[in-house]
A and B are shown apart, each in its own frame.
Chain A
């Protein structure tokens, strides 16, 4: 899974979609549901869509969002209001139209032989874990979820994880739910106790890096979903590069999911948002 084979890649679609609902689901977090038949029916866990939120000229770029869930014609996206784009998204409502490019990117690899998976997510890192947890549960894979957030009101997708996971453990920075501290503190006991075949991680890059090291120390393969500022989202502009042992890769087409042992981690900085 080092990089998506160019010749085998799926054709990306440009689809006009309408908003079915847009609700606040946690502190600072919205869930927008789009009527997007073509993308919803072809998206796989870990892939993303590139959303043209508004067609004004004061901001021009699309915004990439992980697909949280897909049911029939409906595409669900979890988003945090961080800048002008997500603020505009938060103001859209039922019946509004926008267009999406998708499904994009190389998603989670699910080995055929998988019997037990550990999903580790922090904050909005829960977004690309939704479809994954549901898919794994449907395949009969035992799922453990370790989920972190700053505070209890900022935990997202708790119901989805509770349904899909055999085990769902929580950590909050302020101790308002679950373990008082970072989610990384939950990982080592789960690695030792559950002996997962694979660890899937998404969240702040520094947290992903720590979990990748924990998995590596336990000898368990680990996949990470990385975030970069994106331009085109389809592999042309080379904005979203990730340094790997195989050279510069594009998060939009070679990722966003990478094998953790391929990634040359960058310095631990807060990724910029726009």
Chain B
């Protein structure tokens, strides 16, 4: 029972020491969480979305709790790529963990400009292109809900980056496998899914939406079955690795995503509930394998018995 488990996984050319990542937007750049966990226990830190210029985000209230989950409409508030490189990225360079930067844009040109700026930063191990944020008026999800637009963004960013390229997909589509195939065809090294499900909640005392922007993205345990289903569908449809996420609170949840076909997983909303979740999911995943004499965590990927 003392055998070591090989926890390494690969996303394209990026090797990770274990499959547990942070979901963009739930972990900032990790500094706040370093009070609670050792970041080197994670597969990678995926940063909050970074755009070319500073974005102010949406009006408040920006969150609303719902049954087994929450809605958010933060709106990708961020200081822009220059401030990111001069601040959070410098701090991340001192940490022993791969850094995946989430790239956001209002236009193809903006995604390209951010990717170009990050190309010369050795601290950046990979890019995650966010074509699935439901909380911005232009760009964001609009690029992730049509095959030609998703393909165009992927092609344009692929042309300017040599780093591993992950494309983050929206669940707010009729058939997510079409989008996954479209970005695979344009050179994406991996896809990550799911971003949040578009949702709404209304305060019955005031008759007003609970979010200032009326609609927002649903996350948390409430969405996990939808996410597992989509990971399974996408993993069956593409050759590139899938990063699975949506409501992971425990190692057992992570195992479920891997069985459905995920090569790696990301912890999101759970970071707000327990800031040590990422680290405990990584430990729990290793224990799960050890207890079953599974030599490599990668054996779990797609191992669902149908």
The answer to whether residues A60 and B68 also contact, given A14-B276, A234-B275 and a CB cut-off of 8 A, is yes
Report whether A235 and B35 are in contact in the complex, using a CB–CB cutoff of 8 Å: no
- Decide yes or no whether B217 CB sits under 8 A from chain A: no
The answer to whether residues A62 and B203 also contact, given A239-B63, A272-B210 and a CB cut-off of 8 A, is no
Query: Chain A contact residues: over half helix, strand or loop, or mixed?
Result: loop
Contacting A at CB under 8 A, from B49-64, are 56-57, 60-64
The answer to whether residues A58 and B67 also contact, given A12-B35, A238-B77, A241-B57 and a CB cut-off of 8 A, is yes
Shortest Cβ distance from B73 into chain A, in angstroms? 10
Report whether A238 and B69 are in contact in the complex, using a CB–CB cutoff of 8 Å: no
Report whether A248 and B57 are in contact in the complex, using a CB–CB cutoff of 8 Å: yes
- Which of these binds chain A: B24-32, B230-238, B256-264? B24-32
- Decide yes or no whether B272 CB sits under 8 A from chain A: yes
Shortest Cβ distance from A59 into chain B, in angstroms? 6
Q: Chain A residues with Cβ under 8 A from B26's Cβ?
A: 232, 236-237
Residues of B in contact (CB 8 Å), total: 38
Report whether B72 and A60 are in contact in the complex, using a CB–CB cutoff of 8 Å: no
Report whether A236 and B32 are in contact in the complex, using a CB–CB cutoff of 8 Å: yes
- Decide yes or no whether A229 CB sits under 8 A from chain B: yes
Q: Chain A residues with Cβ under 8 A from B275's Cβ?
A: 14, 101, 232, 234
- Decide yes or no whether B70 CB sits under 8 A from chain A: yes
Shortest Cβ distance from B275 into chain A, in angstroms? 7
Report whether A229 and B61 are in contact in the complex, using a CB–CB cutoff of 8 Å: yes
Q: How far is the CA of A99 from the CA of B25 in the complex (A)?
A: 24
Q: How far is the CA of A241 from the CA of B70 in the complex (A)?
A: 17
Shortest Cβ distance from A198 into chain B, in angstroms? 27
Query: Chain B contact residues: over half helix, strand or loop, or mixed?
Result: loop
Contacting B at CB under 8 A, from A79-117, are 99, 101
Q: How far is the CA of A238 from the CA of B269 in the complex (A)?
A: 13
- Decide yes or no whether B220 CB sits under 8 A from chain A: yes
- Decide yes or no whether B80 CB sits under 8 A from chain A: no
Report whether A231 and B32 are in contact in the complex, using a CB–CB cutoff of 8 Å: no
Contacting A at CB under 8 A, from B90-130, are none
Q: How far is the CA of A271 from the CA of B62 in the complex (A)?
A: 12
- Decide yes or no whether A11 CB sits under 8 A from chain B: yes
Report whether A236 and B33 are in contact in the complex, using a CB–CB cutoff of 8 Å: yes
The answer to whether residues A238 and B62 also contact, given A60-B68, A232-B275 and a CB cut-off of 8 A, is yes
Report whether A241 and B60 are in contact in the complex, using a CB–CB cutoff of 8 Å: yes
Residue-wise interface mask of A (34-78) relative to B, using a CB-CB cutoff of 8 A (1 in contact, 0 not): 000000000000000000100001111110000000000000000
- Decide yes or no whether B306 CB sits under 8 A from chain A: no
- Decide yes or no whether B221 CB sits under 8 A from chain A: yes
- Decide yes or no whether B274 CB sits under 8 A from chain A: yes
Report whether A11 and B68 are in contact in the complex, using a CB–CB cutoff of 8 Å: no
Q: Chain A residues with Cβ under 8 A from B25's Cβ?
A: 237
Report whether A60 and B65 are in contact in the complex, using a CB–CB cutoff of 8 Å: yes
Report whether B35 and A11 are in contact in the complex, using a CB–CB cutoff of 8 Å: yes
Shortest Cβ distance from B218 into chain A, in angstroms? 12
Q: Chain A residues with Cβ under 8 A from B74's Cβ?
A: 237-239
Interface residues, chain B, CB within 8 Å of chain A? 25-28, 31-33, 35-36, 48, 56-57, 60-65, 67-70, 72, 74, 77, 203, 206, 210, 220-221, 249, 269, 271-276
Q: List 25 A-B contacts (CB under 8 A).
A: A12-B35, A14-B36, A14-B274, A14-B276, A61-B273, A228-B60, A229-B62, A229-B63, A230-B63, A231-B63, A231-B70, A232-B272, A233-B272, A234-B32, A234-B33, A234-B275, A235-B28, A235-B32, A236-B26, A236-B27, A236-B28, A238-B62, A238-B74, A241-B57, A241-B62
Top 3 A-B residue pairs of the complex, sorted by shortest distance between their CB atoms? A236-B28, A274-B65, A239-B63
